[in-house]
Structure 1
Amino acid sequence: MATTQSRPLGAFAGYIRKNEVELTERWLKSVFSDAELTEADRLTNDQLSDHVPDILESICSALEQQDLEEVEPEIERKARLHGKMRWKQGYRIDELVRELDLFRQTLMGAVVQYAEAHPAFSRRYEERARYFIDESVSFVTLTSVREVVTERDRKIDEYTGRLERANHELLLKQKLVGELYESRMQITRSVVHDLRNFLNVFSMALQLVARAPAKTEAALALANRQAADMKVLVDELVEYSVVLGDTNQIAIESVDLHALFDELVASCGPTIREKGLELNASFDGQLESVQSNRLKLKQIAINLLTNAVKYTKAGKVTLDMRTRGNDAWCLRVSDTGVGIGDGDRDRVFREFERANDDDVPGAGLGLAIVKELCRMLDGELRFDSQRGVGTTFEIRFPLQLQPVQAPEF
């Protein structure tokens, strides 16, 4: 219940409510005529006065109760909305403060006008009304400014995060450009070296035919072997250039892994057996179709199988596909070949790295191709090897490959 002392202030609050439209229009006129408020000129009356009625109502409640703390939570909520709205409308902090100061002046003018028309509204009540108006508008101003600063800092953090991500992407691309340049130079050196060897051996074969016709068959065999080795080299170079140059988004499709497994066994089995090796093939019956890219999965498996055959002189090659938990599956290729020493583990996936075996054809790009394809298919690649015992490559793929999201800048 209002006390006797609060009744004059309550009557003044009623006066503000009754003249809300007139007071708002008076404030709008002062805002539009103020040269310092440039952003206000772009807004309509409704946009400018959006939260003013709510703030006026809170001030009236403070006057009636003569207790600002009671209405502070409500004023704070409305002031935060006002600050956020002004931030979105492009206000600077100084414009927000200036606008609310004009609002304060409008209400102070209403106090004078009401006191002149109501003699019972003594100077003591007038001072109390000024106090609550001044405290309320100051609280609104402080809260609104804090909200603007919060929104500004949030936006700065957002832009900073984007810039950091963009800078990180730029550094990665710069590094990639450097690596690609070195790769191209390495390709050039490797191709020139192998071409020179090819021409030397081919020249030797022709000289052998010319000098010793009886050895023509041996010379042709030597030339044919060298030509076959060059074909392997060129095929690897072409495959690697296609993989690196593929900038299109990966086409994700339903892949029948059992059908792919059977295809790999049928295509690689004869080559493995021709070398006198045993092929052990195992497929997990619980593994069905997955969402991935069939062609790239096949490329990975064939490169691993081809690599295993190259470096295995006796024993067996194993191909295995099976599930890994509820959201992944695993491709494993192992052999009983020469293996990889501890000192060579760090360079096994580098371009043009080969075992020290002159009988192994190719450019040493097979595992580099596998690594790049695994990156495209979100595959987790790892291997275990022991010199003279053999090597096992294992890749964990997701059952559901997710499309790559374009980065935001």
Structure 2
Amino acid sequence: MTDSHVPPLSAFAAQLRSQQVELTERWMKAVFHDAELTESDRLTNEQLADHIPNILDEICSVLENQDLDHAENAIGRNARLHGKLRWKQGYRIDELVRELDLFRQMLTGAIVEFSEARPSFTRRHEERARHFIDEAVSFVTLTSIREVVSERDRKIDDYTGRLERANHELTLKQRLVGDLYESRMQITRSVVHDLRSFLNVFSMALQLMSRAPSRLETALALANRQAADMKTLVDELVEYSVVLGDSSPLVLERFALRELFDELVISCEPAIEAKGLRLQTAFDGALNEVVSNRLKLKQVALNLLTNAAKYTKAGQIELTMLAAQDEHWCLRVSDTGVGIGASDRERVFREFERATDDDIPGAGLGLAIVKELCRALEGEIRFDSQEGEGTIFEITFPMRLQAAGT
């Protein structure tokens, strides 16, 4: 088919395709020399060209078909990619609009050149070509701007989300600092109160020794008891501080639960029987080896047993280990002690919470220590208690504790 039989706009589109490289370079030169486009100076030729050659090719299709709808999807896809890349390259919206306007001007100049070389390309053809080019470039500009705005909004949403999370974390940390401050003040008040009480009674014992030598044995017994109670208080404080301050990775080992069970019985039975209580024990023969931290498990059990003995004046303490479902096992410690009232159930694991009976030594940290240790050992604590009848604590542990990060 000869040129005379090719529709004028199709002939112009063919000319644009044949000059695609030249036209792209002409446009890039205009961009580089434009004083308003500062970001383009940092880009290579390849980065600057981006999807412009593809967009130019799709505009040629528009001219050939004299219909933007025919190539709208392809143009829109390339325009979005162009806008996204310009956003990443640091372009402002006005810079994006300016460089696409230079693209429009370059194509308009190509229309003039073609019409001057082709007398058959009439003014009507020029207007039609200008119309489709303006329509296509406007569509490219609008689509690119929308993509830039979308990227900006996503970034803003991301920053907003980070800011909200940071504010939430800050609020939690401020609350934690407040709780720590209150806890520290509570520690101070509790320890000062207990030490003052111990020292007052100790001072009374010393005065009794000096004023009534005949009652020396009574005074010594009173002083020894106060010293022992003071030691119990200090030991609990030290143990709790060690538990809270232990940031080292959890050391796991494989060991037989039966051995730990027997060790607990040997350790606790004399002190429990010394109070006139009975120690009942039961071990599930289905239990074998576990993977956990043996010392921390022992610490949990000892605190529960010690706590049970403190608050039980008559009856028995029971220690039980039994298998549970889903690869877990259960540690149970029960007593026939004073029990826990319904109003006190929410505060039993808090620091310095204990019975109001002044005869019970310690800082009230036993269950707080158990709670912190169970957090590390992934133990699930449950308890049931009836005031005046006793308490049952059950903690379910995994048979194989996983190391952090696995």
Normalised TM-score (structure 2): 0.87
Number of residue pairs the alignment of both structures matches: 399
Distance in 2 separating the partners of 1:105 and 1:262: 92
**1:317 maps to which residue?**
318
Are the structure 2 counterparts of residues 177 and 107 from structure 1 closer, same or farther at C-alpha, using a change threshold of 3 Å?
same
Cα distance per residue 1:69-117 (max 9 Å; x no partner): 2222222222221111111111122221222121121112112212211
Deviation at 1:340, TM superposition (A): 0.7
Are the structure 2 counterparts of residues 109 and 252 from structure 1 closer, same or farther at C-alpha, using a change threshold of 3 Å?
farther
Deviation at 1:230, TM superposition (A): 0.7
Deviation at 1:265, TM superposition (A): 4.4
**1:235 maps to which residue?**
235
Cα distance per residue 1:241-299 (max 9 Å; x no partner): 233334x3643635547365555445444444444232334458367544x65544443
- Helix, strand or coil at the partner of 1:182: helix
Cα distance per residue 1:23-56 (max 9 Å; x no partner): 1111111211222222212111111112112212
Distance in 1 separating the partners of 2:94 and 2:329: 60
Cα distance per residue 1:154-185 (max 9 Å; x no partner): 11111111111111111111112122222222
Are the structure 2 counterparts of residues 324 and 212 from structure 1 closer, same or farther at C-alpha, using a change threshold of 3 Å?
same
Are the structure 2 counterparts of residues 346 and 149 from structure 1 closer, same or farther at C-alpha, using a change threshold of 3 Å?
same
**2:201 maps to which residue?**
201
Are the structure 2 counterparts of residues 24 and 343 from structure 1 closer, same or farther at C-alpha, using a change threshold of 3 Å?
same
**2:28 maps to which residue?**
28
**2:340 maps to which residue?**
340
Distance in 2 separating the partners of 1:64 and 1:7: 8
Distance in 2 separating the partners of 1:136 and 1:262: 85
Are the structure 2 counterparts of residues 295 and 100 from structure 1 closer, same or farther at C-alpha, using a change threshold of 3 Å?
farther
- Helix, strand or coil at the partner of 1:76: helix
Cα distance per residue 1:200-246 (max 9 Å; x no partner): 22222223333343433332222222111111100111122233334
**1:280 maps to which residue?**
281
Map residues 60-75 of structure 1 onto 2, 5 A cutoff: 60-75=60-75
**2:11 maps to which residue?**
11
Are the structure 2 counterparts of residues 280 and 122 from structure 1 closer, same or farther at C-alpha, using a change threshold of 3 Å?
farther
| Contact 1:37–1:95, Cα closer than 8 Å, also in 2 | yes
**1:76 maps to which residue?**
76
Q: What CA RMSD, in Å, does the superposition of the two structures yield over aligned residues?
A: 2.8
| Contact 1:250–1:293, Cα closer than 8 Å, also in 2 | no
Deviation at 1:365, TM superposition (A): 1.5
Deviation at 1:9, TM superposition (A): 2.2
| Contact 2:304–2:333, Cα closer than 8 Å, also in 1 | yes
Deviation at 1:392, TM superposition (A): 2.8
Are the structure 2 counterparts of residues 24 and 402 from structure 1 closer, same or farther at C-alpha, using a change threshold of 3 Å?
farther
**1:148 maps to which residue?**
148
| Contact 1:261–1:283, Cα closer than 8 Å, also in 2 | no
User: Identity across aligned pairs (percent)?
Assistant: 69
Normalised TM-score (structure 1): 0.87
Of 377-386 and 165-174, more deviation after overlay is shown by 377-386
Distance in 2 separating the partners of 1:7 and 1:296: 88
| Contact 1:269–1:279, Cα closer than 8 Å, also in 2 | no
Q: Does residue 135 in structure 1 map to residue 135 in structure 2? A: yes
- Helix, strand or coil at the partner of 2:383: strand
- Helix, strand or coil at the partner of 1:279: strand
**1:104 maps to which residue?**
104
Deviation at 1:324, TM superposition (A): 4.4
**1:126 maps to which residue?**
126
**1:253 maps to which residue?**
252
| Contact 1:252–1:403, Cα closer than 8 Å, also in 2 | no
Q: Which runs of 5+ in 2 are unaligned?
A: none
**2:182 maps to which residue?**
182
Distance in 2 separating the partners of 1:388 and 1:154: 61
| Contact 2:377–2:401, Cα closer than 8 Å, also in 1 | no
| Contact 1:265–1:281, Cα closer than 8 Å, also in 2 | no
Are the structure 2 counterparts of residues 195 and 284 from structure 1 closer, same or farther at C-alpha, using a change threshold of 3 Å?
same
Of 189-198 and 118-127, more deviation after overlay is shown by 118-127
Deviation at 1:355, TM superposition (A): 0.7
Are the structure 2 counterparts of residues 46 and 318 from structure 1 closer, same or farther at C-alpha, using a change threshold of 3 Å?
same
| Contact 2:68–2:132, Cα closer than 8 Å, also in 1 | yes
**1:114 maps to which residue?**
114
Distance in 1 separating the partners of 2:230 and 2:178: 28
Distance in 1 separating the partners of 2:155 and 2:316: 63
| Contact 1:252–1:401, Cα closer than 8 Å, also in 2 | no
